[in-house]
Amino acid sequence: MTPPHPRTWLKVTPAGLWCEPGDFHIDPLRPVARAVVTHAHSDHARPGHEAVLASPATLALMRTRMGEGAGRTRQPLGWGERLRLGAVDVWLEPAGHVLGAAQVAMEYAGSRAVVSGDYKRRADPTCAGFVPIPCDVFVTEATFALPVFRHPPADAEIARLLASVLLFPERTHLVGCYSLGKCQRLIALLRAAGWDRPIWLHGAHVALCAAYEALGVPLGDLRPATAAAKADLAGAIVLAPPAAAGERWARRLADPVVCAASGWMRVRGRARQGGVELPLVISDHADWDELVATLREVAAPEVWVTHGREEALIHEAAKYGIAGHALRLLGYGEEDEAAA
């Protein structure tokens, strides 16, 4: 008997992607009985599910972000541990996106599908690296699926930031970045580049940095920017949500150089829209080359493409004999616009 095609058992429903023989949803958009969550960003991890299955770090980060809303029962699953749900074997492998971010692998009657969630392929000291899983259907994100998005090495971008701090020692460098993942990766990159001075945080970033540290990711000397004397902030690096530069909160800073760390910063028009003075191209998503390489590596004959620029990736996949389909799941990518 030929194994059933994943389209017969993995379906798009109004609540999101549903695995019928396992009776669970992956990153559901509304409250469900059983959810498998790839990572803790708010467009993937939503509150109010009955049972949540995720990596231990994702469950911990969900607790930090949504408290009781993180699911009535929460079941951690370590990397590579297989679990039987209904008639389906489920396991998680790292996606390399943020701490705890997982790909969900499912095997049913000899047919295997992998939902990548959001992923990247670059080394990231704050989370486990992406593990390719050969499969029959690979469900991929496509946030940066245009060939104009090729992320430069992150350490070179950090070097640009530090060179700017050196050139403008009397000013504060305010780096707009998303509070979960990007913020901690930036801190880790700065530490790796030898920046051992205090890094100052906007209030929105404090709790998640503490959660990362509790999960074993050391971030060094972090301090709340609200507690800083004005003199402390001259020549300092402050991390805050991207919108904070325009808020009254920013008046404590010394003539800030407004920076933003995101894959969108690659395109000048996008960087200009935000009023950014120093755009840093640092992303937690795969760039174009990495998306294409990943499709070839997992060698699935078929890919389903979720949020982003599906048409370009499907067009490219066809050159390698990979059949691509756009998976119309509304609701993803909302957090990523700021976070990517």
Partner 1 sequence: MIAFAALLERLAFTPGRNAKIALLRRYFATTPDPDRGIGLAALTGELAFATAKPALIRELAAARTDPVLFGWSYDYVGDLAETVALMWPAAATSAAPPRLAEVVATLGGAARGDLPGIVAGWLDASDAPVRLALLKLITGGLRVGISARLAKVALAGLAAGRIEADAIEEVWHGLAPPYEALFAWIEGRGPRPDPEDAPVFRPPMLAHPLEPEDFATLDPALLHAEWKWDGIRVQLVATAGGRRLYSRGADDISAAFPEIIEAMAFRGVLDGELLVMRDGAVAPFADLQQRLNRKTVSARMLRDFPAGVRLYDLLFDGAEDLRPQPFAARRARLEAWYARVCPPRMDLSEIIDFASLDELAALRAGARAASIEGLMLKRRDAPYVPGRPRGLWWKWKRAPLTIDAVLMYAQRGHGKRSSFYSDYTFGLWRDDVLVPVGKAYSGFTDAELVWLDRWVRNHTTARFGPVREVEKSLVLEVAFDAAQLSARHKSGVALRFPRIARLRTDKPAAEADRLESLLRLVGRVSAVAG
| Cβ nearer to partner 1, comparing 177 with 180 | 177
| Cβ nearer to partner 1, comparing 52 with 260 | 260
Tokens of 265: 């910063």
> What is the smallest separation between the CB atom of 250 and partner 1, expressed in angstroms?
4
> What is the smallest separation between the CB atom of 167 and partner 1, expressed in angstroms?
6
What is the residue whose two structure tokens read 């980060």?
61
Torsion of CA 62, 63, 69, 72, to 10 degrees: 100
> What is the smallest separation between the CB atom of 281 and partner 1, expressed in angstroms?
9
> What is the smallest separation between the CB atom of 122 and partner 1, expressed in angstroms?
16
| Cβ nearer to partner 1, comparing 60 with 175 | 175
Asked if 63 and 215 touch (Cβ cutoff 8 Å), the reply is no
| Cβ nearer to partner 1, comparing 52 with 281 | 281
> What is the smallest separation between the CB atom of 50 and partner 1, expressed in angstroms?
38
E-strand stretches of the chain: 10-13, 16-19, 24-26, 34-36, 51-54, 73-76, 83-85, 88-94, 102-108, 111-115, 137-142, 173-176, 199-201, 222-224, 237-240, 257-261, 278-280, 302-308, 323-326
| Cβ nearer to partner 1, comparing 78 with 169 | 169
> What is the smallest separation between the CB atom of 22 and partner 1, expressed in angstroms?
37
| Cβ nearer to partner 1, comparing 81 with 255 | 255
β-bridge mates for residue 19, sequence order: 10, 24
Interface with partner 1 (CB under 8 A)? 146-150, 152, 160, 164, 167-168, 245-251, 255-258, 266-269, 271-279, 289, 309, 311-312, 315-316
Tokens of 226: 């609200």
Q: What are phi and psi of 258, to 5 degrees?
A: -85, 115
